[in-house]
A and B are shown apart, each in its own frame.
Chain A
Amino acid sequence: MSKFRNALLLCASVLVAGTACAENKSLGLGRPALPEEIKAWDTAVRPDGKNLPIGKGTVKQGDDIFQANCAVCHGEFGQGVGRWPELAGGQGSLTSDRPLKTIGSYWPHVSTVFDYINRAMPFGNNHTLTTDQVYAVTAYILSLNDVIKDDNFELNEKNLATIKLPNEGGFREDDRETAEKHFWGSEPCMKDCKTDVKITSRAAVLDVTPENKNGPKVE
């Protein structure tokens, strides 16, 4: 009771001092972000094309830039080198045993390709491409995936969001709570739940664990 009264008093005294005690009262911390600062950091692009920078680049231009900056990891046709990611191919593989998830077979939006190259590529030499070069490389990757078929096609801030990737419709919102409803609410069996148990899979068969295999000694 006394604590409650103290809180009320505190609130009242704050009110007297001319400020509210509601939760949404500003703390007065931080300073306004300047337009130049927002421009420097606010580069994220959305599927609807919001925030795409002004620029342009053709498939042909992109080919040269890609071979010089990207092919070392991704291969000259986006087929991937070693364990580095494939960027093209794999269409029709999503229901197979070994799906190949590339920009053409899996990615839903062209904006993501542009944004990711601009954001994080070339790996280890990040943020070295100009805006026009990012458009050109994006166009080249789209051509590797047969999304763009004309080598002279120019990708720019006006047409990027109008280009659709084949798997755009391949995604659905998280539906675990309905599709997996049977994982909820059961009272699991505790006694004599099964009569026979067989081993169906063993890690030792694959033997891919990066560990010393020193067998223990039971004393």
Chain B
Amino acid sequence: MSSKPQDETLNRRSFLRAGGLAVAGIASANAARAETAKPDPLITEEQNWHKYLGDGVDKYPYGMPSKFEKGVIRKNVPWLTAETTSSINFTPLHQQDGIITPSGLCFERHHSGMAEIDPASHRLMINGMVEKPLVFTMDDLKRMPRINRVYFLECAANSGMEWRGAQLNGCQFTHGMIHNVMYAGVSLKTLLNEAGLKPNAKWLMLEGADASGLNRSLPLEKALDDVMIAFGMNGEALRPEQGYPLRAVIPGWQGNMWVKWLRRIEVGDQPWETREETSKYTDLLADGTARRHTFVMDAKSVITNPSPQAPLKFKGRNVLSGFAWSGRGTVKRVDVTLDGGKNWQTARIEGPILEKSMVQFYLDFDWTGQEMLIQSRAMDSTSYVQPTKADLRKVRGVNSIYHNNGIQTWLVKANGEAENVEIS
């Protein structure tokens, strides 16, 4: 063996080849016996990582994913919007396992770009129908009783491009306007209690400090139920693109309401009818009227593997994986079909089942190379059953943009490729 470190990609390539051979053995026993008779050089030859010293503990004060994971990134769809500063990118759901989305992979939606705010310069004001209008610093907020909760954040426009039919090939693009994060912060109730609500208070307005000053009206009832004001995510401070140093967390409700860079909460007795809650985030129906204040995210699920960005590579044993969630409570059950809805089986939910949080589901299966039409169907604790896209269109038409929680179909072809399709 050479004493110089080899090119890492060569090592990776030979590793993949070896893995492929080993798995092929499951599908074709005779061929496998002949192949495995040759010793694996990854075992018989000494590898560089076994020979040379690696980097020391002072090399990466803040750790990053392995360089072999460089394909695990957020992506945007350039044709969707005019400008990246008022746009969205997508979480790579097909590359997530377990319910927590890594902070750096959480999708971003900005309306005037990502504000960068020194926490020492950040203020939160509460005014309007309160006994005492107040101003809080970040230090004030961090002295209040603290809570930690896991919640999904789904943009109401998630899957919005799919209303008229199958469009984008990849669950990252069809379903990636979602992330699931552990938040640290304070209960909004605690803050409102400091200011003191006046008797006629019914609505709040949350407003961001970014250049768009994004603002949304929030019913007081929800504010007093489970709304959080968060400064932490996944064990560290919020990421700048997620609203550092302070954001609203509105569990189970559409992402647009989770105001980032939160600087002001106004208390009032009626909604403000802001641009975001009138011209946007209202759901146009076939009869030309529109639903407004459609805050709750209905139960939904998607198979993440296999999917167009995550084709099947091997016959024989495989893992089907996916995520399900409901803004109304917990996910009770997820069913999966491999034959286009003729027959279903209940998937295994693995890991924590939390209120208004994603769950991970798996179905272990054997693939003989047959074409498959795969779907998942979520049911939640209110006995809501995720509808088909056809059932949704019957009620809402195709112009709603928002709240498309219809059942997703992937066609898995004989070569393992998957395509976004719809079926009868």
In Å, the complex CA distance between A106 and B280 comes to: 10
Judged by a CB distance under 8 angstroms, whether A159 is at the interface is: no
Judged by a CB distance under 8 angstroms, whether B20 is at the interface is: yes
Residues of B within 8 A of A174 (CB): 291-296
Segment among B53-61, B147-155, B230-238, B340-348 that sits at the interface with chain A: B340-348
B314: shortest Cβ distance to chain A, in Å? 6
Q: Mask for B210-224, Cβ within 8 A of A = 1, else 0?
A: 011111000000000
Contact of B268 among A46, A115, A199 (CB under 8 A): A46
B361: shortest Cβ distance to chain A, in Å? 16
Known A38-B133, A112-B275, A183-B385: A197·B411 in contact at CB below 8 Å: no
Known A31-B135, A174-B295, A197-B342: A203·B419 in contact at CB below 8 Å: yes
Q: Is the CB of B275 within 8 A of A115?
A: yes
Q: Is the CB of B344 within 8 A of A193?
A: yes
In Å, the complex CA distance between A202 and B166 comes to: 5
A111: shortest Cβ distance to chain B, in Å? 7
B213: shortest Cβ distance to chain A, in Å? 4
In Å, the complex CA distance between A95 and B284 comes to: 9
Interface residues on B, range: 35 or more
In Å, the complex CA distance between A48 and B270 comes to: 10
In Å, the complex CA distance between A23 and B190 comes to: 9
Q: Is the CB of A29 within 8 A of B194?
A: yes
Judged by a CB distance under 8 angstroms, whether A176 is at the interface is: yes
Judged by a CB distance under 8 angstroms, whether B127 is at the interface is: yes
Q: Is the CB of B274 within 8 A of A112?
A: yes
Which A93-134 residues sit within 8 Å CB-CB of chain B? Answer: 94-95, 99, 101, 103, 106-109, 111-112, 115-116, 119-120, 123-124, 126-127
Q: Is the CB of B289 within 8 A of A170?
A: yes
Which A153-176 residues sit within 8 Å CB-CB of chain B? Answer: 170-176
Q: Mask for A185-204, Cβ within 8 A of B = 1, else 0?
A: 11011111111111111111
Q: Is the CB of B212 within 8 A of A218?
A: no
Contact of B140 among A30, A185, A194, A209 (CB under 8 A): A30
Known A30-B194, A46-B270, A120-B111: A176·B294 in contact at CB below 8 Å: yes
A82: shortest Cβ distance to chain B, in Å? 6
Judged by a CB distance under 8 angstroms, whether B39 is at the interface is: no
Q: Is the CB of A197 within 8 A of B344?
A: no
Q: Is the CB of B343 within 8 A of A95?
A: no
Residues of B within 8 A of A37 (CB): 125, 135
Q: Mask for B72-89, Cβ within 8 A of A = 1, else 0?
A: 000111110111011000
Q: Is the CB of A208 within 8 A of B314?
A: no
Q: Is the CB of B279 within 8 A of A202?
A: no
Q: Is the CB of B423 within 8 A of A197?
A: yes
Q: Is the CB of B140 within 8 A of A44?
A: no
A25: shortest Cβ distance to chain B, in Å? 8
A48: shortest Cβ distance to chain B, in Å? 8
Q: Is the CB of B417 within 8 A of A176?
A: no
Judged by a CB distance under 8 angstroms, whether B387 is at the interface is: yes
In Å, the complex CA distance between A201 and B145 comes to: 52
Known A30-B135, A172-B292, A184-B385: A199·B127 in contact at CB below 8 Å: no
Contact of B384 among A111, A175, A184 (CB under 8 A): A184
Q: Is the CB of B144 within 8 A of A219?
A: no
B286: shortest Cβ distance to chain A, in Å? 7
Judged by a CB distance under 8 angstroms, whether A179 is at the interface is: yes
Which B257-306 residues sit within 8 Å CB-CB of chain A? Answer: 263-264, 266, 268, 270, 272-275, 278-279, 282, 284, 286-296, 298
Judged by a CB distance under 8 angstroms, whether A215 is at the interface is: yes
Q: Is the CB of A108 within 8 A of B112?
A: no
Please name the residue on chain B nearest to A47 by beta carbon. B273
Judged by a CB distance under 8 angstroms, whether B167 is at the interface is: yes
A115: shortest Cβ distance to chain B, in Å? 7
Judged by a CB distance under 8 angstroms, whether A18 is at the interface is: no
Residues of B within 8 A of A176 (CB): 291, 294, 296, 298
Contacts A30-B126, A84-B82, A109-B273 known; 6 new A-B pairs at CB < 8 A? A38-B133, A44-B205, A46-B270, A184-B384, A188-B377, A199-B421
A-B residue pairs in contact (CB < 8 Å), sample of 5: A27-B194, A33-B134, A41-B263, A185-B383, A216-B312
Q: Hey, which bits of chain B sit against chain A, CB under 8 A?
A: 20-21, 23-24, 75-79, 81-83, 85-86, 111-112, 125-128, 132-136, 140-141, 143-145, 165-170, 173, 190, 193-195, 205, 207, 211-215, 263-264, 266, 268, 270, 272-275, 278-279, 282, 284, 286-296, 298, 308-309, 311-315, 335, 339-345, 369, 373, 377, 379, 382-385, 387, 391, 395, 399, 411, 414-417, 419-424
